[in-house]
Amino acid sequence: MRLLHNRNLDWSGATRCLYGLGGAGPLSAATIGVIGRGRKALTPDLVAGFAAVLGMAAADLGVLTGVDVTGAGRRVHPGAAEAAALLWEARRLTAAQVSRVQGRAALIRLRRGGGPGLGRRW
């Protein structure tokens, strides 16, 4: 959970990123909290999804969590690594700056005829 917070992702943001980038879910924000408190077991696909959001190899996160991720992560978005790098770089932005970036991204998506963003599957 600390790795998500380092990227300014709360439980709700984590669910959107897991669904859009990691192919996990949809999950509720409360489920992320339960996972973080250790009251719900991590599945190989969840570990692979978290790894995609964090920009690390699923095998590495699997070793850290003790979860075998062999065969997991087939639903990871092709642009997940690039998005994870962007999440890492955006961690230093203020709330006002993030709001401006969100507004600009929404405008770009509308101009391109796209949907709402991370929740949209490829």
27 within a domain of the structure (yes/no): yes
71 within a domain of the structure (yes/no): yes
Domain with 54 in it: 2-91
66 within a domain of the structure (yes/no): yes
17 within a domain of the structure (yes/no): yes
Sign of CA dihedral 92, 98, 100, 105: positive
Residue pLDDT tens, the chain, 122 long: 888 888 889 999 999 999 989 888 889 999 999 998 999 999 999 999 999 999 999 999 999 999 999 988 788 899 999 999 999 998 899 989 989 988 998 999 899 886 655 545 44
Closest to 34 (Cα-Cα) out of 5, 61, 1, 74: 1
37 within a domain of the structure (yes/no): yes
Domains held by the chain: number:
1
41 within a domain of the structure (yes/no): yes
42 within a domain of the structure (yes/no): yes
